[in-house]
């Protein structure tokens, strides 16, 4: 056996070992991902989420609750858009109205952060997302709903990672709950003149996006124009559409076939 053939066999042997190791790592990553979504978002010091909800059986009942100062005209457009993008997925979409945290609950879990794009430095009080998920869990039981979206004008930080601040939205799939913060959707946040039409378009995109995670799962769409694409900036939110791309529509169809409706 010459030296070249000998090295070739060694290379093939190591390639097989490497392939096995890659397969093991991939399997571990899948197991880890399943574990993360099974346990849900970790609790903060002040808010520990209760036991998990039962899996959703589509069609279901959806509620929207508003925490902050909002006008009554927002709900009708949200409901219409959700029924258009996710047809037949909801037996009902209910307006749960305005909600105010008690002063005791409101003050809990707050962390102070500098507004991230303000020239004169301004400190804002950020609220943990689990504060809202816990509210949603309680309201779901009270109103016998499958899913609830909480819309707030308060700034948020993630209870799963305190370094993730000024969130626009977050979905908690095991608890079938999601939150949208309107703070960064307003032009005034960027020291520009208020634009109500632009604000409502952005808000509806984010509502559809977060509810989409509860239906389609945690992954984002790679199509930048799809409403399920990941948006890190307000510009990316403005550039994507209000609608699902063809691939996401196919996934929606598959879910409909699974639940036979």
The pLDDT of residue 36 is 37
The pLDDT of residue 184 is 95
Q: Which residue's structure tokens are 């790592």?
A: 25
Chain length of the chain:
261
**How large is the C-alpha radius of gyration of the chain?**
22
Which CATH code, of 3.40.390.10, 3.40.250.10, 3.20.10.10, 3.90.1150.10, is assigned to 62-259?
3.40.390.10
The domain spans of the chain are: 62-259
| CA distances to 35, 64, 163, 203 from 133, in Å | 19, 13, 18, 19
* Contact predicate 92/61, CB 8 Å: yes
Residue ranges for the chain with pLDDT beneath 70: 1-7, 19-20, 22-54, 116-120
The pLDDT of residue 170 is 96
The yes-or-no answer on residue 210 being catalytic is yes
The pLDDT of residue 163 is 83
Which of these is catalytic: 104, 122, 170, 210? 210
Query: How far is the C-alpha of 180 from the C-alpha of 185, rounded, in Å?
Result: 10
Q: Three-state SS for 230?
A: coil
Query: How far is the C-alpha of 117 from the C-alpha of 106, rounded, in Å?
Result: 25
**Per-residue pLDDT tens digits for 186-205:** 999 999 999 999 999 999 99
The pLDDT of residue 222 is 96
The pLDDT of residue 52 is 58
The pLDDT of residue 56 is 77
């Amino acid at each position: 056996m010459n030296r070249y053939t000998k090295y070739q066999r060694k290379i093939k042997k190591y390639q097989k070992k490497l392939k096995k190791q890659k397969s093991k790592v991939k399997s571990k990553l899948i197991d880890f991902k399943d574990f993360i979504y099974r346990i849900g978002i970790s609790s903060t010091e002040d808010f520990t989420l209760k036991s998990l909800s039962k899996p959703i059986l589509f069609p279901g009942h959806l509620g929207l609750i508003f925490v902050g100062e909002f006008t009554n005209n927002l709900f009708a457009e949200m409901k219409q858009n959700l029924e258009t993008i996710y047809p037949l997925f909801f037996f009902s979409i209910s307006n749960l109205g305005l909600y105010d945290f008690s002063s005791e609950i409101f003050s809990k879990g707050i962390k102070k952060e500098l507004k991230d794009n303000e020239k004169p430095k301004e400190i804002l009080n950020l609220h943990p997302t689990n504060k809202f998920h816990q509210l949603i869990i309680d309201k779901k039981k009270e109103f016998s709903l499958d899913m609830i979206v909480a819309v707030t004008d308060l700034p948020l930080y993630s209870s799963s990672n305190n370094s993730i601040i000024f969130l626009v939205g977050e979905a908690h799939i095991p608890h079938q709950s999601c939150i949208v913060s309107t703070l960064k959707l307003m032009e005034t946040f960027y020291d520009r003149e208020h634009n109500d039409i632009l604000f409502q378009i952005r808000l509806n995109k984010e509502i559809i996006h977060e509810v989409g995670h509860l239906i389609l799962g945690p992954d984002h769409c790679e199509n930048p124009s799809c409403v399920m694409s990941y948006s890190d900036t307000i510009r990316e939110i403005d550039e994507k559409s209000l609608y699902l791309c063809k691939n996401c529509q196919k996934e929606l169809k598959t879910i409909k076939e699974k639940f036979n409706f």
